[in-house]
Amino acid sequence: MKRFISTCYVFLLLSFSMNTIKVFALSKTFTQGLYLVRDAGLVTNSTYKVRNLSFRNPAVLIVFDGNNMMQEFLRLESRSPEYFIRPLGYDYIIVIIGDAEIEFS
C-alpha cells in the first residue's frame, strides 16, 4: 500500500510539473507617429502599462476608437512612471506626439 501511495504521489508531482505555463509580456516601444493597433502587433482586449523612456522629452499619447472618439489622453513626462490604459480594440488608433519613446508592456 505504501508503494502504491508513493507511486501515485510521484506521478501526481510529475503531472503538475509538466503542465506549467510560463507567461510573460513582451514590451513594445514606439516613437512619434500614428499606429493602428492591428498593425502595431499589440494584443487586443488586454490592459497595457505605458511609460515614457526618454530622459528629456515629454510626450502625449492619444487613443482613438473605431468611431474616431478619443478614449485616452495622457501627457507623459520624461522618465514617467507606468500608467494603465484601457483595453485596446482591433480598430483603435494610437497617436504619439513628441520626440520620445513610449513603451507598452
pLDDT in tens, 34-90: 999 989 989 899 889 999 999 999 999 999 999 999 999 999 999 999 999 999 999
Q: What are phi and psi of 74, to 5 degrees?
A: -130, 135
Please state the domain extents for the chain: 25-104
Question: For residue 91, what is its C-alpha cell?
Answer: 480598430
pLDDT at 33 over 70: yes
Per-residue pLDDT at 8:
64
Q: Which CA distances in Å does 46 have to 18, 56, 79, 83, 89?
A: 27, 29, 24, 14, 9
Mean pLDDT of 25-37: 90
Per-residue pLDDT at 59:
96
Per-residue pLDDT at 7:
74
Q: Residue 50 in 3-state DSSP?
A: strand
Architecture of domain 25-104: Sandwich (2.60)
| C-alpha closest to that of 59 among 89, 37, 39, 33 | 33
